[in-house]
Amino acid sequence: MKAHMEPRSRRSFQAIQLKHIAHIFGRMVRLRAYGGAVLMLAVSTAALADGAPWRRYWLVGQVVVALSFFFYELRRYEREGLTTRSISGNLAVGIFLEQSLTWGTGGLASPLLPLVLPLAFVGAAVLPQRQRWALMAAELVLVSLLSAAHLFEWTPPLHLSFLGEPPKAMLIAIAAGMLFLVVAANIVGAAIRGTFEDMLTESFLQRDELFATHRTHARTLEALSGEIAHELKNPLATVKGLTQLMLREDGRAQPRERLEVLAGEVTRMQGILEEFLNFSRPLVPLSVNQVDLASLCDEALVLHEGLATEHQVRLSRGGEGPVLAVCDARKVKQVVMNLLHNAIEASPPGGQVSMDVESGSAGDVRVIVRDSGAGLSPELVDRVFDAGVTTKARGSGLGLTVARALARQHGGDVSLRNEASGGCVAELMLPRELPAGTLDGVREREVARAG
């Protein structure tokens, strides 16, 4: 998965990984250094109580070497921080000293024998794979040598005299159990490290995807800014020319036709800017209620009766009874009105636009708008929802892009297709209930992502 991350994300991934490993390693080094003094005191008491001369000599060397190493590593960590080399070397020497301490305090019967397990776990959790397996091999070799030294009596009696010698069968069981637990500790440590890396990798991949969406959206906005400027240039020139003409006609009656042209051009500019703003900003959170889509579509039809009359297009609606869905009525109405508006403008004089509202078989509801126009041209079929793509002489190419984004914010979609008998079919699909998580303050990232 890491191979699919961008180079900058891989560097960030490694930095975060090293930061958390350093935190774990730092705790271990401090605990070992300051806890080592207490441990050595306990070891000294046990060795003195045992009375074996060789154990006392061993104790002096063990205490000096172990405590010197522990505090040296602590100072080096505080001074230099963490490096991969310092981790592997530190753990290797630490495990060797732990096994030496275990050998001198009873071998397989030593109460310090289990200390190898947390060291094995930490090594598997913080080291890269190759060093992890090498350290586990060293752990198994040291535990095997310790077991052999005790079982085959290669050294003077290892058990502490005041604790007594355990049965050989028990020692064999302890040896086998420790070898198994060392392997298990490594497997668990490696699994935890792998889980952490997978979670971190997934987070970075999602971040990269979001950054890519933002870059795409930014490029689209950059391209659209020129188109918007061009769209506004003509109506602004008209407004400027008419206002200058009206100023020159000072004292005379202002023709009503000029005021109507001014109002129309201002309305046109306002519409262009509103569509551009809807596209350029993230969608606001949903405000949902149970909505009757049939009634909502009836309202949209009433609002478009004037436009339909102007284009000499008949409107009709199919479907009976209420069709309920949980949605944001304002946003869904905006989508329906956009599809209806486009269908009326695409239909020729004498044509018909029909709207059907129906319940789907997969737990969804659908609003289907059919026109009697020429349909989508082949070159527009795959690009009709791209920002800036339009067949209208005065269109901004943002209406369908915004409509699909609003539908997808609900967990639905908008699609367009040509019908075999002629005309175009626009279909809005919405789930009856919003998907889980939609209402948790979620914002649609960008309209470009919906495209």
Number of folded domains that form the chain: 2
Number of helices (H), then strands (E), in the chain: 12, 7
- Least confident segment among 58-62, 195-199, 335-339, 435-439: 435-439
Residues 177-201: what's their mean pLDDT? 89
**Does residue 156 lie within any of the structural domains?**
yes
**Better-predicted residue by pLDDT, 317 or 161:** 317
Gap between the Cα atoms of 331 and 428, Å rounded = 12
Q: Assess if residue 262 is contained within a domain.
A: no
169 and 48 in a common domain? yes
For the chain, give the mean pLDDT.
Answer: 77
**Which amino acid makes up residue 412?**
G
- pLDDT one-digit tens code per residue, 431-444: 887 665 554 444 44
* CATH number for position 371: 3.30.565.10
- Domain boundaries, position 359: 289-450
Together in a domain, 122 and 18: yes
Query: Do the domain assignments include residue 440?
Result: yes
Residue 30 has pLDDT above 70, yes or no: yes
Q: Are residues 197 and 334 in the same domain?
A: no
Same domain? 323 vs 432 = yes
Exposed, middle or buried by CB within 10 Å (0-12, 13-18, 19+), for 110? Answer: buried
Same domain, 176 and 65: yes
In a domain, 328, yes or no: yes
| Final residue in a domain of this structure, among 154, 188, 211 | 211
For the cut 70, the answer to whether the pLDDT of residue 397 exceeds it is: no
| 63 and 182, same domain (yes or no) | yes
The percentage of residues in the chain with a pLDDT greater than 70, rounded to a whole number, is: 74
Residue 165 is assigned to a structural domain of this protein: yes
Residue 234 lies in a domain: no
Task: List, in order, residues 6 or more apart from 246 with CB less than 8 Å away.
Answer: 254, 258
How far apart CA 251 and CA 244 sit, in angstroms, is 14
- pLDDT at residue 182 tops 60: yes
Does this model's pTM top 0.75? My answer is no
Taking only the tens place, the pLDDT of each residue in 250-309 is: 555 556 666 666 776 777 677 667 666 665 555 567 778 888 989 999 988 888 888 888
Range scoring the smallest mean pLDDT among 165-174, 179-188, 228-237: 228-237
Does residue 231 fall inside a structural domain?
no
Q: Compute CA distances 301 → 8, 238, 320, 401, 429, whole Å.
A: 52, 33, 15, 22, 18
Name the domain boundary from 165, 186, 211: 211
Q: Is residue 271 part of a domain?
A: no
Last residue of a domain, one of 160, 183, 211: 211
Whether residues 346 and 204 fall in one domain: no
